[in-house]
Structure 1
Amino acid sequence: MQLKPVSLDVIAEAREEAQAVLATLMARLAPGEHVVRLGVDMEGQERPLSATLPITVEGDGGAEDLVGAEPKWLDNFVFLLTCGLAQTLCSGVLYLRSTGVDGQVTVRAWHLCWGALSECLAGEAAELLDGREPGAYADAFALHAPDDGEEDGGEAVFPPVAYTVL
């Protein structure tokens, strides 16, 4: 694999954004079993690189819910997402498959392009994933922090390791 050189500052910013994206995602999950998958196309690769992150949420849907992900899966996922966010010529897809406590499966997707994740509407997600994921497709929610210049304009979000169950 041959990637365009990127400064350490860009990598650090991309890693911080990747962690914030996962923290935002984890904070939005309802109780149940979830699997987040990421595929990133990079220049010089024959096939996309991929990472999978299983996440379990236990609780009643309140602020005290326990969100768990194994550190080895979390680290791999953050690394690949960091690469995708830092390399603006990369493209890919991130999608979330959620199985609620009622057994219903919901699929949401985000398109990775030019160093950012864009939300897909339900129809776009179904087309992007080409029927590979069975379930009810839903509109994705925003994962990037709003870039409005306000430092602490909202509720605090802990880094993903705060949600990790060892």
Structure 2
Amino acid sequence: MAQLKPISLDRFAEAREEAYIVLARLMARLAPGEHVVRLGVTMDGQERPLTATLPLTVEGAGTLDDLVGAEEKYLDNMAFLLACGLAQPLSYGVMYLRSPSGQESGPASTIRAWHLAYTALTECSAAEAAELVGGGEQGTGFADAFSVHDEDETEGEAVYPPVAYTVL
């Protein structure tokens, strides 16, 4: 079993903040319906990935006023595991989002994926998502992932704190 490189508490705090920002940006892009975010993180030398699941419900008409619901314990678990992956250079994994497709014809759900490696989440194309997640599920299509990082910090779009999305 490999030893992980120690990291500072400051670095972990930054990774934790980034994890909540990533999750808030992901939730802000969701259409109405039932969604599930899954994350698997493997540390160097570990045989099985650590996993977290975050069920999300979006109620509304597809506008900025939509209500995104997430149970706090699932949100916190997802953010903690994502922070571990973002803080530790010797970790890798995949985060994927299953959403209703919103189409009457075609697959019932759509999967988008992000690859976690070297402390960063990178968007996957539909083909990469099918390869990472596995394309054998009936009624599921794959789509290109969107960015969960802010390319332009000065754009002015507010990201609400995670508690704004939490259903008690």
Q: TM-score scaled by structure 2?
A: 0.90
Tell me by how many angstroms 1:88 deviates.
1.1
Q: Which moved more, 1:124-133 or 1:110-119?
A: 124-133
Alignment correspondent of 1:96? 97
Runs of 4+ displaced beyond 6 Å: none
- For 1:119, the aligned partner's letter is E
Contact 1:33 1:100 in 2 (8 A): no
Distance 1:12 1:65, change over 3 A: same
RMSD: 1.7
Distance 1:130 1:100, change over 3 A: closer
Q: Structure 1 regions of 5+ residues with no counterpart? A: none
Q: Structure 2 regions of 5+ residues with no counterpart? A: none
Distance 1:10 1:47, change over 3 A: same
Alignment correspondent of 2:84? 83
Instruction: Find the partner of 1:136 among 138, 141, 157.
Output: 141
Alignment correspondent of 1:62? 63
Q: Deviations over 1:111-148 (max 9, x none)?
A: 001101000000110011122554110000001122x5
Alignment correspondent of 1:110? 114
Distance 1:133 1:154, change over 3 A: farther
Instruction: Find the partner of 1:156 among 140, 143, 158.
Output: 158
CA distance in 1, matches of 2:99, 2:16: 25
CA distance in 2, matches of 1:43, 1:88: 9
